Amino acid sequence: MTVVSLATVPRYDSTRASESDGQAVVVGAGMAGLLAARVLADGFDEVTVVDRDPLPDDPVARRGVPQSRHVHVMLTAAQSTLDDLLTGYGEELLAADGLLVDAARDVNFFIEGDYLADGPRRIPQYCATRRLYEWIARRLVADIDGVELRPSCLFTEYLADDAATVVDGVEIRNDAGDVEKLTADLVVDATGRTSRTPTWLETHDYAPPPVDEVFIDLAYSTTLVERPADDRRSFVVTPSSSCPRGAGMLPVEGGRWLVTLFGVHGEYPPADPAGFVEFAATLPVPDPHRLLDEHRWTAADVVHYRFPTNVRRRYEDLDRFPEGLVVVGDAIASFNPIYAQGMSVAALESLLLYDVLASGGRDDAGRRFFDRSEAVVDAAWNMAVGSDFQFPRTAGPRPRGTALTGRYLARLARRAHADGVLRDAFFRVMMMEEHPVTLFRPGVAWRVLGPAGGALTPS
């Protein structure tokens, strides 16, 4: 089965990376960069992670990751990978007041006109702010032998041979303002949406990756409110073509809910508190408004973020790509964040990067990695962009088959209002644990397409 989910990705096995020599440089200390650094530490003596931001020893929001102030839902693929790769990740997250909830019951998920029924099987889920997820990962990665974090270092250029066939390092402006050259046997670009690799390729006589852009014109506004210690509920309100507005409310550390309201195609949630509350009142369920009304706000302001387009750079289509370079995370593809896939795609990519290096060495690592990661990106992209095309104003290349799949999934969601088994199947795919084909297996398809109530369900 193609690798597109946690269930089908090769599992991490530390004994597979027998060789450990040379140097690797990772540019970008976001989630993708940290996870890449973690797997590279098994195969390289030295791994240097550079980031233009200071990386303080606190879970604070960073300039280079403006999205870190907004709700980040951690799907199972990211969570399990973090647990596997970074021993003690979960314990540290909980010790720092993050939560472990049961997504089968604690997540109130509104879709297709109602909340889904509770699921029958537990789905453990970490809940915290994005800053906390990243801070714990950063501390654990920094503790690995051979890994060095270089904060306040701006990446400016790749180093390469005259013909630019091999990337062999990076040039940075370091924290003292001096230009420094770091040599490397492998460079990983984890700089996110602003990645400069396409421009570098073009200026060095390579074709840049073809780009798919799907216009969604999304905006987020977020604040924090007080949460009673024993209230661990999340709320997710998905948008629809009749109400292109939604919400995500996540219990986080410090006895708070992070409350994000969002809208697509110009339905922007306001960034002033009064307008924010009014927007919440227009949602199809009362819970977001009630939460904002009944609980003390712990943030003085509402922060705003715009996300105009889903962007996918198709590196897998390139005939030529330099040796010594790999691109990961949002630098390859960034998806409409309401589907919460970014950290999970980065996590699955880190496992694939490990597998590519462990199974085939460093030669042609970039192209071999892109060949493998294409399927992971495809699955996430089709899910996100496929859903985005329910809005008539969404524009860009439409993946094939999404209209039919969309109708099936809408029906599945409606049945799941009363059928916890369907919620379970849906959640495990949405959380990138299971392969999407599992939603079309006879036991699930019958519950979706057969008589309501699941009568005569085949065993």
Ligand X SMILES: Cc1cc2nc3c(=O)[nH]c(=O)nc-3n(C[C@H](O)[C@H](O)[C@H](O)COP(=O)(O)OP(=O)(O)OC[C@H]3O[C@@H](n4cnc5c(N)ncnc54)[C@H](O)[C@@H]3O)c2cc1C
Which residues form the interface with ligand X (CB under 6 A)? 27-33, 50-53, 64-65, 67, 70-73, 78, 154-155, 190-192, 194, 220, 305, 307, 329-331, 337, 340-344, 346
Q: Name the minimum Å distance from CB 125 to ligand X.
A: 11
If one counts every other C-beta atom within 10 angstroms of the C-beta of residue 124, the result is 14
Cα(321)–Cα(166) distance, rounded to whole angstroms? Answer: 9
CA gap 36, 28 in Å, rounded: 10
Q: Which is nearer to ligand X, 62 or 367 (CB)?
A: 62
Distances (CA, A) of 317 to 192, 195, 196, 213: 20, 18, 18, 16
Smallest gap from residue 226 Cβ to ligand X (A): 22
**67 or 405, CB closer to ligand X?**
67
Indicate the residue among 72 and 414 with the shorter CB distance to ligand X: 72
Which residue, 48 or 402, is less far from ligand X as judged by CB? 48
> Which residues contact residue 407 at a Cβ distance below 8 angstroms, ignoring those fewer than 6 apart?
none
Q: How far is the CB of 55 from ligand X (least distance, A)?
A: 8
CB 449 to ligand X: min, Å = 31
> What gap in Å lies between CA 459 and CA 443, rounded to an integer?
7
Distances in Å between the alpha carbon of 380 and those of 38, 310, 343, 412? 23, 11, 11, 19
Provide, rounded to whole angstroms, the least separation between the CB of residue 339 and ligand X: 8
Based on CB atoms, which residue is closest to ligand X, 222 or 405?
Answer: 222
- Which residues touch 391 (CB under 8 Å, ≥6 apart)? 216, 239, 241, 244, 264, 265
Residue 191 CB, nearest distance to ligand X (Å)?
4
CA distance 311 to 304: 20
Rounded to the nearest whole angstrom, what is the least distance from the CB of residue 53 to ligand X in the complex?
5
Query: For 10-105, where are the alpha helices, taking DSSP H only?
Result: 31-40, 76-85, 89-95
Query: Which CB, 195 or 405, lies closer to ligand X?
Result: 195
| Shorter beta-carbon distance to ligand X: residue 221 or 447 | 221
Report whether 18 contacts 390 (CB < 8 A): no
